[in-house]
Amino acid sequence: MIKQEKAVFQQKKLTSILAEDELIRIEEAFNMFISDPDSDTVRPADIVNAMKKVVGREGGIMKSMIELFESINTPEHNQTGITFGYFIDFLIQRYNSTEKEAVRKKFELFDVHNKGYIELDTLINISEELGNGMLKEEALAMFDRASSDKEKITFEDFYFTMTQFENRNRDKSDLSPTLPQNETSFSNIL
């Protein structure tokens, strides 16, 4: 069940980064750079050059988009071109690496013994130390929900649980039947 939930979560990851209308606008802009009607690829260099011409007028977000395209502006990509799907995959990977770093810092707060995982007793102790009033039964339920092997919570378990909960609270969509909104999550402890 956990593997199925993770697959569904990954599919919905894109919509947690971009709204549907933003994705449509990005795809429309991307398609403007397709010069060969028999191809679905663009050269990153063409996009970077066009963006640099308007950066003085746009500033902020445009500069970050230029940096994003410059990071895939390689000879190989300029020779073969990139598809919109490749660009979106690249965008998701870049977003995930930043998000993962933030979640890893939270994980380290719970991994007080630097074992690379969180044990149930540690979770209960941290909850008691922070005085959030979580009952032992709630901690056990949270632990069971988060742990893929029911013995420990690995970073991947923690990451999945944290991002699933945060995305659910952001847009209130049903990302998983295993994380009801009224139950305790790591975010509630911190």
Establish if 101 belongs to a structural domain.
yes
**What does each C-alpha distance from 187 to 61, 81, 118, 166 come to in angstroms?**
29, 42, 15, 8
Residue 109 covered by a domain: yes
Domain count, the chain: 1
Q: Which of the residue ranges 37-46, 50-59, 168-177 would you say has the lowest mean pLDDT?
A: 168-177
Q: What is the pLDDT of residue 174?
A: 41
Query: Which range, of 1-10, 75-84, 143-152, averages the lowest pLDDT?
Result: 1-10
Radius of gyration of the chain measured on its C-alpha atoms: 21
Confidence (pLDDT) at 15? 56
**CATH number of the domain bearing residue 8:** 1.10.238.10
Q: Please report which confidence band the pLDDT of residue 149 belongs to, taking 50, 70 and 90 as the band edges.
A: very high
177 found inside a domain: yes
**Model confidence over 109-147: pLDDT tens digits?**
889 889 999 999 988 888 777 766 667 888 888 899 899
**Domain with 126 in it:** 2-17+96-189
26 lies in some domain = no
50 domain residue, yes or no: no
- How many C-beta atoms lie closer than 10 Å to residue 83's C-beta? 15
Q: Give residue 116's pLDDT.
A: 93
Query: What mean pLDDT comes out for the span 40-66?
Result: 73
Identify the band that residue 72 occupies on the pLDDT scale cut at 50, 70 and 90: confident
Asked whether residue 13 is domain-assigned, the answer is: yes
119 in a domain, yes or no?
yes
Whether 12 is in a domain gets the answer: yes
